Amino acid sequence: MKTLLTLAWRNLWRKKRRTFITVSSVMFAVVLAIVLMSMVNGMKQQMIDSIISNISGHLQIQDVLYHDEPTMDHAMEYGKEVQDAVAAHDEFIEYTVPRIEGFCLASKELSTRGVYLMGVLPEKEDRMNNLLSRLKEGRMFTAEDDFVVIARGVANQLNLSVGDTIVLLGQGFQGMTAAGTYQVGGILEFPLPEQNNTLVYMPLQEAQHFFAAPGRLNSLILMLSDVSMADHLAGSIQEELDDEWYTLKTWEELMPDKVAAFEARDAQVRVFAWVLYIVAGFGIFGTIITMMYERLREFGILLSIGLKRSQLAGICMLETLFISIIGVIAGVFVGFPIVYWFYANPIQLADDLAEVMIDFGLEPFMSFSIASDIFVYQVLTIFIIALVVGLYPVRKLFRLDMISAARK
């Protein structure tokens, strides 16, 4: 075995320049693929983080029917059963965010608008999505207050300022009418128009009262210490809850369209990366074929003096693997610092793009990912390509007529 390794290794350097060029082509493909994947994964992670903190959280406990039919009638009871189930998994849950929410009509004098009322605990929301940083005027309520804070768009549409009174009218639990008059205590600004034009925040307890649903929630958001635990934890918590009433939804289940969009994008990136790999694969293929044909006589002689076909095939396979592995290692060594640098110093986006990003609730930076699976993916893919490409000389060697090969 050591002999085969030595032979394969030395054979590589018989034509140094050719080997160098082939290794470089593999390296460039790997570097490009790493940078591409790192960039796309970085953006994806940025978007996922934004979705999780702004919208869904990691995991939600809901009434079984709420996801398909989000009305106040499907508000769940937030009592001992849910609290115990959550407490039993305390070690994995960083904090919980309770919400009761629903559409309402908001009016001031003669103008009326549809708004989305969120009953929340302010410090929990702030921990999840920095709600307090959105406050531009007035003050935020505490859990015990009974005033509302509204988004800037709502304020503009209804011509409301801090200190004014807003009338809210909606549908409460089990057909009850929800109605109330509230003072506007503060104004929030949101980047997304659909948030900015619709959101009204109210203390949780006051909102439960408003919706005639004391002790009930539409969702209890669970923020986890480790996102990858979400699926496992969902199952485990569900076991402690009556599944006739309660269900657990991961962020992926709550946001299926987003997940599908990410998957489509991942597929595009993989196609592009595979184009790179195939180009590199042909480079390797060309080199090993030339290496083989220019040595057929040598092979004939080696086989004549007693080297087995399998040993010779092993040498050729090792040569292919060496070229590929050197290429991939070089690619990772060059690619890693590049993406690490961009990871540590995200690219600040220029004006237009930055605005788009902000509009989507994202930081105006292009962030890169340094997740290890990007690199593992390269190594495995190139390894598989090398194995496939390396089969050609192996097949050829097992059919080689050694007498005529040795004679040429």
Partner 1 sequence: MKTVIKTSELSKVYTNTAVPVHALKNVNLEFKEGEFTAIVGPSGSGKTTFLNVIGGLDKPTEGHVVIDDVDIATMKESQLFDFRLRHIGFVFQAYNLIPVLTAMENVSFIMLLQKKEKKEMQRRAKEMLEQVGLSDKLDVRPSQLSGGQQQRVAVARALASKPDFVLADEPTANLDTESAFNLLDIMLRLNREENITLIFSTHDQRVIEKARRVITLVDGAVDKDEYFERN
Contact footprint for partner 1 (CB under 8 A): 3, 7, 10-11, 14, 297-298, 301-309, 402-403, 406
Separation CA 383–CA 218 (nearest Å): 50
For partner 1, the closer of residues 317 and 382 by Cβ is: 317
For partner 1, the closer of residues 16 and 80 by Cβ is: 16
For partner 1, the closer of residues 213 and 303 by Cβ is: 303
The answer to whether the beta carbons of residues 78 and 217 sit under 8 Å apart is: yes
Q: Exposed, middle or buried, 336 (CB in 10 Å: 0-12/13-18/19+)?
A: middle
Closest CA to 240 of 61, 98, 84, 95: 84
Cα 156 to Cα 112, 150, 358, 401: the distances in Å are 12, 10, 21, 87
The answer to whether the beta carbons of residues 74 and 244 sit under 8 Å apart is: no
For partner 1, the closer of residues 80 and 399 by Cβ is: 399
For partner 1, the closer of residues 13 and 340 by Cβ is: 13
Q: Exposed, middle or buried, 265 (CB in 10 Å: 0-12/13-18/19+)?
A: middle
In angstroms, what is the minimal distance from the CB of 401 to partner 1?
10
Q: Exposed, middle or buried, 318 (CB in 10 Å: 0-12/13-18/19+)?
A: buried
Beta bridge partners of 118: 101, 201
In angstroms, what is the minimal distance from the CB of 11 to partner 1?
6
In angstroms, what is the minimal distance from the CB of 403 to partner 1?
6
In angstroms, what is the minimal distance from the CB of 302 to partner 1?
7
In angstroms, what is the minimal distance from the CB of 323 to partner 1?
16
In angstroms, what is the minimal distance from the CB of 324 to partner 1?
20
For partner 1, the closer of residues 213 and 318 by Cβ is: 318
In angstroms, what is the minimal distance from the CB of 26 to partner 1?
22
In angstroms, what is the minimal distance from the CB of 3 to partner 1?
6
Query: Per-residue DSSP letters for 236-297?
Result: HHHTTS-TTTEEEEEHHHH-HHHHHHHHHHHHHHHHHHHHHHHHHHHHHHHHHHHHHHTTHH
Cα 67 to Cα 64, 247, 254: the distances in Å are 7, 9, 8
Dihedral, 362, 368, 374, 378 alpha carbons, nearest 10:
130
Cα 163 to Cα 11, 159, 186, 196, 233: the distances in Å are 84, 12, 8, 19, 44
In angstroms, what is the minimal distance from the CB of 390 to partner 1?
19
For partner 1, the closer of residues 256 and 306 by Cβ is: 306
Beta bridge partners of 112: 107
For partner 1, the closer of residues 4 and 55 by Cβ is: 4
For partner 1, the closer of residues 162 and 301 by Cβ is: 301
